[in-house]
Structure 1
Amino acid sequence: MTTVSTDPAARAPQARLIYGCMGLGGGWDRTPYTAEDVDRAQAAVETALECGISVFDLADIYRFGTSEAVFGEVLARTPGLRERITVQTKCGIRLAEGDRPGLYDLRGDSILRRVEESLARLRTEVIDTLLLHRPDPLTGPDEIAAALHELHRQGLVRRFGVSNMSAAQLAQLQSRLELPLVANQLEMSLARRDWVEAGVLLNTSAATSNGFPEGTLEACVDRGIQLQAWGALARGRYTGDADSPTAELLRRLARSKDTTPETVLLWWLARHPAGIVPVIGTSRPDRIRACRDAALRAPDLTHEEWYELWITARGTPLP
């Protein structure tokens, strides 16, 4: 059994909100980014910082690499910024190219190569946290762990985590690692509720269709693994000009708490005792500012208000 480090520095940084950079870097068409793309990225980063957000989430595939590249440009433009923030990126997905379909690749040499490419695009000497973006069923945990240990030995990555992995996959990989896995990023929102539904559907006919891997949230909590929620704003489904009972409830709660519907939506995640940290992916400064209170204030939802949001969004009573 591998001995796992208990050094607090090996844990994920404490944060109420993470800024997701998938929207930065131009289009999804492999065209080079422009100076305007860098300007927009800088405006988004500066707004996030103003709102108290200091953890920035990227991936090597976002905008075919240009999200990392424009973020690196912002770092180069802003002396001292790198020391003030946490940079998190991901590897493990290879997008479709020519006749080859998209696939997952966590082979050791692929991880090492893609981290080198991310470092070059980001213009930084070290990645604070590297997440494995998707499970690769064709690569064993020993090969993955060997690559992660090598990256840490070289001082290229400080911490490691995963994305979209189950409790069993986490446990298998962790058993080969000396460093603790610090994060698991999953799609979680008021619209994507299977993670919370799984905990109450036991012994009901709906349990078999839920699909969320049993025990994943509990395993993360017990191991001190930070749960990060991608898609936390539900792609705008309940905010802006949305017209639904859930959207109206969010607006009513926001008015009563002197905040925004976006904040209440994020508070619904953060109020869960698993300590979920939402990732917001908008590139619009006005929408980033709408999330400000979620970064600066503790979740202000009562037990009853949290359940009212859940039940309204699911559209049927709890079992």
Structure 2
Amino acid sequence: MKMIQMNKNVPASSAIGLGCMRLTGLENSKTVRELIDVSMEAGINFFDHADIYAGGEAEAEFGKVLTPKLRSQMVIQTKCAIRPGICYDFSKEHILKSVDGSLQRLNTEYIDILLLHRPDALMEPEEVAEAFSALKKAGKVRCFGVSNHNPMQMELLNSCLEEPLCVNQIQFSVAHCPTIDGGLNVNIHNDAGCNRDGSVIEYCRLKKMTIQAWSPFQYGMFEGVFIGNEKFPELNAVMNRLAKKYQVTPNAIAVAWIMRHPANIQTIVGSTSAKRVQDICKASDVCLTRDEWYEMYLSAGKLLP
């Protein structure tokens, strides 16, 4: 498994991480532990959570099977700031309270990485900095990042932080990559050329931030999975051919497409199938050619100007 060093205070992390949002869909704690064990045997040491996943129950299910030995072999990330149906909350009080809740549910003394889940329009960067500083000094969080943020939002936060943000988690797949579309259609008056995110990939590369890709098999905003979907016949034909060539599954090819990008993107996969996780991890051994990468991009319905 390819490894990524995201921050000096955090151990090297697997380039494929397990997203734990759906853990509550598993039968019992035994199957949760089996999924974790199989993932780690396949090379995964990175586990992604959020305080809102299943209302906190996903973290709790994970915490039920977490032992000191397992914890020492893991990098655990969680997210906070979404108050469902109410607001996004970057207040110091909410951040501190959220972390304490996650620590209790996860059954751990510290979180390796804490992300702010969605941008808060009422963000006070000085207040966020106070919260981060308090958490780090207390040994509760080792480093910090964000999710779904644009470059200027990150710049504003970094202007007050003691240490710069180390992660930005964004939705990214071959069928949903507007940041790639915008970069390829510079100075062209078309929809693809609309810069919707402020060149977030280039910004993160310049700042040495790790980009994490969520929903690597989805198209649109939760519209569905593109693998095996009749809406994407050309893309599936290409993925099936490449899967046969590299002797992996189409899911692994979809992840290999993400991993081929020089931004060193970490992919978060949310499968609860141990076999599927094993198959996806084989993407780490696949290096698509430049022609194959662009062929997949074009077969997803994209155009080069």
The TM-score, its normalising length taken from structure 1, stands at 0.87
Q: Does 1:84 align with 2:73?
A: yes
Give, in angstroms, the shift of residue 210 of structure 1.
3.6
Q: Does 1:57 align with 2:41?
A: no
Give, in angstroms, the shift of residue 233 of structure 1.
2.1
Q: Is the 8 A contact 1:10 1:179 kept in 2?
A: no
Q: 2: distance between equivalents of 1:12 and 1:163? A: 20
Give, in angstroms, the shift of residue 139 of structure 1.
2.3
Q: Is the 8 A contact 1:51 1:289 kept in 2?
A: yes
Give, in angstroms, the shift of residue 166 of structure 1.
0.5
Secondary structure in structure 1 of the residue aligned to 2:139: coil
Aligned to 1:160: 144
Q: Does 1:194 align with 2:178?
A: yes
Secondary structure in structure 2 of the residue aligned to 1:181: coil
Structure 2 residues not aligned, in runs of 5+? 1-5
Q: 2: distance between equivalents of 1:40 and 1:164? A: 31
Secondary structure in structure 2 of the residue aligned to 1:301: coil
User: How many residue pairs were aligned?
Assistant: 295
Aligned to 2:292: 305
Q: 2: distance between equivalents of 1:53 and 1:104? A: 30
Q: Is the 8 A contact 2:116 2:146 kept in 1?
A: yes
For 1:168-317, list aligned pairs within 5 A.
Answer: 168-207=152-191, 210-234=194-218, 237-240=225-228, 244-295=233-284, 297=285, 299-313=286-300, 315-317=301-303
Deviations 1:252-271 (A, max 9, x none): 00101111111110011111
Secondary structure in structure 2 of the residue aligned to 1:259: coil
Q: Does 1:93 align with 2:82?
A: yes
Aligned to 2:127: 143
Aligned-pair identity (%)? 37
Relative distance call for 1:317 and 1:211 in structure 2 (3 A) is closer
Aligned to 1:127: 111
Moved more, 13-22 or 132-141: 13-22
Give, in angstroms, the shift of residue 63 of structure 1.
0.6
Secondary structure in structure 2 of the residue aligned to 1:290: helix
Q: Is the 8 A contact 2:66 2:107 kept in 1?
A: yes
Q: 1: distance between equivalents of 2:75 and 2:191? A: 38
Deviations 1:44-103 (A, max 9, x none): 211211211000000000011010000001104xx51000010100001012xxxxx332
Q: Is the 8 A contact 1:24 1:40 kept in 2?
A: no
Q: 1: distance between equivalents of 2:156 and 2:10? A: 19
Give, in angstroms, the shift of residue 145 of structure 1.
1.0
Secondary structure in structure 2 of the residue aligned to 1:199: helix
Give, in angstroms, the shift of residue 288 of structure 1.
1.0
The TM-score, its normalising length taken from structure 2, stands at 0.91
Q: 1: distance between equivalents of 2:123 and 2:302? A: 41
Q: Is the 8 A contact 2:179 2:199 kept in 1?
A: no
Deviations 1:24-54 (A, max 9, x none): 124xxxxxxx9x3322322221121121100
Secondary structure in structure 2 of the residue aligned to 1:9: coil
Moved more, 217-226 or 237-246: 237-246
Relative distance call for 1:12 and 1:233 in structure 2 (3 A) is farther
Q: Is the 8 A contact 1:60 1:91 kept in 2?
A: yes
Secondary structure in structure 1 of the residue aligned to 2:28: helix
Q: Is the 8 A contact 1:233 1:262 kept in 2?
A: yes
Relative distance call for 1:18 and 1:178 in structure 2 (3 A) is same
Q: 1: distance between equivalents of 2:192 and 2:39? A: 40
Relative distance call for 1:183 and 1:8 in structure 2 (3 A) is closer
Relative distance call for 1:128 and 1:11 in structure 2 (3 A) is closer
For 1:65-84, list aligned pairs within 5 A.
Answer: 65-76=56-67, 79-84=68-73
Give the one of 109, 126, 138 matched to 2:93. Answer: 109
Q: Is the 8 A contact 2:16 2:281 kept in 1?
A: no
Secondary structure in structure 1 of the residue aligned to 2:146: strand
Aligned to 2:34: 43
For 1:3-14, list aligned pairs within 5 A.
Answer: 9-10=8-9, 13-14=12-13
Q: CA RMSD in A?
A: 2.0
Paired AA for residue 74 in structure 1? V
Paired AA for residue 144 in structure 1? V
Paired AA for residue 302 in structure 1? T
Paired AA for residue 317 in structure 1? L
Aligned to 2:17: 18
Q: Is the 8 A contact 2:13 2:45 kept in 1?
A: no
